[in-house]
Amino acid sequence: MRTHLPVEIWRSFLLYAIDSPDVLSINPIPTDNPCYEAEYWESERTRNALRRVCSSWNAFLTQYNNRFVRTSDVIHSRIPAVSLVYALHIKVDKCTCPLCDLPHTGYMESRWCFQDRVSSADAISGHSPWRVEIIDDQRGWYFDIIACEPKRFLNLRALYHSIALPDILFSAKPPLSLLAANAKDLIKIKQLELSNITTLSIQGIEPAHLSLVHLPNLTHVWFEMLWRPLIDQNRVHSILEWLSFYGKRLETFYWLDFDSGITDSDVDKVWSLCPNLQRLQLPVDARWTPPPSSHQIRLLRVEEHDEPPPSVCSLCRSPHYFSIQFSNSLGQLANSGVQRIQASPLVWHERMAHDNDHSIYCFMMEARSHGIVVVDMCGWSFEQAILAHLKARKKLYVHK
């Protein structure tokens, strides 16, 4: 006797097979590189292969066309304009084609073209609400065009943006749980449902901004302090005061600050105010002081910065023009429970293509000797990045 699985179970299998969590799911941990695209394109190849199995699978999987959309593909009609309406993740990417890369007119030409595509998408869909849950427009090029209609934000849960946000976004009251924006927009955030926001990444922040808004469920934070090298201003006290209100809830606290002087006792206060931290970044001037034995710290984010004059590396015997934060404290980090170090602004595949300094590789080898893995801003280890690169090259070779 033959038995058949219910349709619902088959559909669950298919959705699992074409899933791409790195691209289509919201990672609550603050980052300036929300996703690697390779996983999504691999899932698309799987989806297209499964569509050829039978007509019912084809009909079901066709509903999941263009879940991830790049604006350059829309501008140049590589995918239908209406894909904007049905995409779950929209990424504003830089196009370097001859049209878009013209010195004086390329940018405006691409904007006009994108505006036309957006209007076309709405007309074709009958002006229905957009499905998009993630928008990555860190360049700030096209967001104002998308933001003309509140119905495009009704499902928006994660927004990566670096310049001032349009007021219409806040009047639409999207269900945002992750917001990466500029400090000038903090006062506007009050218009949103604040209890939804668990992740906040703010650029250009100053002490006065910290008290502008109360976020009761904040769990993951990235503060990029305003860079003021000519002003003698220590912002540490204000940050510690803010942590006295929010620190107990925080699992992630990235504190990017090149100016403020921070003492060992200040670092100790961070440990006491944030007992549940799993991920941390401290100002560049900080020294490592071990956390209490009960602490859960697992990942430390560090900064690469200029090293004038260049220092000679003890491993490769060559001069390094960049220094990496806490490079002299790796043994202490390992003893404190740190398992991974995330180096900023490292992205492995970019570093491998444009490598002018070997400091990160020596740092990686030294960290490895202490049992610590160095990852880039996308969370990939060197080995993972190499493997992905080789897979991509293999596919390119096969297609040729």
Flag whether pLDDT at 2 surpasses 60: no
Parent domain of 359:
298-400
- pLDDT tens digits for range 106-142: 677 888 899 999 999 999 999 999 999 999 987 767 8
Task: Identify which has the larger pLDDT, 358 or 33.
Answer: 358
Average pLDDT over residues 71-75: 91
The strand pairing partners of 179, in sequence order, are 159, 200
Flag whether pLDDT at 39 surpasses 60: yes
Residues 76, 59 share a domain: no
Whether 43 maps to a domain, the answer reads: yes
Kindly state the tokens that stand for 282. 């401290």
Flag whether pLDDT at 104 surpasses 80: no
Average pLDDT over residues 90-100: 79
The strand pairing partners of 311, in sequence order, are 320
State percent of the chain over pLDDT 70.
90
Residues 117, 103 share a domain: yes
Residues 58, 42 share a domain: yes
Predicted local confidence at residue 331, as pLDDT:
94
Whether 293 maps to a domain, the answer reads: no
Most confident of 142-146, 220-224, 343-347, 357-361: 220-224
CB 289 within 8 A of CB 264: yes
Whether 181 maps to a domain, the answer reads: no
- pLDDT tens digits for range 285-323: 899 999 998 999 999 999 987 766 777 777 788 877 778
The strand pairing partners of 221, in sequence order, are 200, 253
CA angle 18, 23, 24 (to 5 degrees): 65
Residues 73, 57 share a domain: no
Whether 116 maps to a domain, the answer reads: yes
Predicted local confidence at residue 1, as pLDDT:
42
Residues 335, 255 share a domain: no
Average pLDDT over residues 272-296: 94
Mean pLDDT score across all residues of the chain: 86
Residues 360, 329 share a domain: yes
Whether 123 maps to a domain, the answer reads: yes
Whether 271 maps to a domain, the answer reads: yes
Q: Domain boundary at 287, 313, 344, which?
A: 287
Q: Domain boundary at 49, 64, 79, which?
A: 64
Predicted local confidence at residue 166, as pLDDT:
82
Most confident of 180-184, 241-245, 389-393: 241-245
Question: What pTM value is reported for the model?
Answer: 0.87
Residues 344, 323 share a domain: yes
- The secondary structure of the chain, three-state, reads CCCCCCHHHHHHHHHHHCCCHHHHCCCCCCCCCCCCCHHHHHHHHHHHHHHCCCHHHHHHHHHHCCCEEEHHHHHCCCCCCCHHHHCCEEECCCCCCCCCCCCCCHHHHHHHHHHHHHHHHHHHCCCCCCCCCEEEECCCCCHHHHCCCHHHHCCCCEEEECCCCCHHHHHHCCCCCEEEEEHHHHHHHHHCCHHHCCEEEEEEECHHHCCCCCCCCCCEEEEEECCCCCCCCCCHHHHHHHHHHHHHHCCEEEEECCCCCCCHHHHHHHHHHCCCCCEEECCCCCCCCCCCCCCCCCEEEEEEEEEEEEEECCCCCCEEEEEECCCCCHHHHHHCCCCEEEEECCCHHHHHHCCCCCHHHHHHHHHHHCCCEEECCCCCEHHHHHHHHHHHHHHHHHHC
Residues 223, 282 share a domain: yes
Residues 246, 207 share a domain: yes
Task: Identify which has the larger pLDDT, 149 or 101.
Answer: 149
Residues 274, 218 share a domain: yes
How many domains is the chain partitioned into structurally?
4
Whether 180 maps to a domain, the answer reads: no
Residues 226, 253 share a domain: yes
- pLDDT tens digits for range 207-251: 778 888 888 999 999 998 876 655 555 688 889 999 999 999 999
Residues 72, 59 share a domain: no
Whether 46 maps to a domain, the answer reads: yes
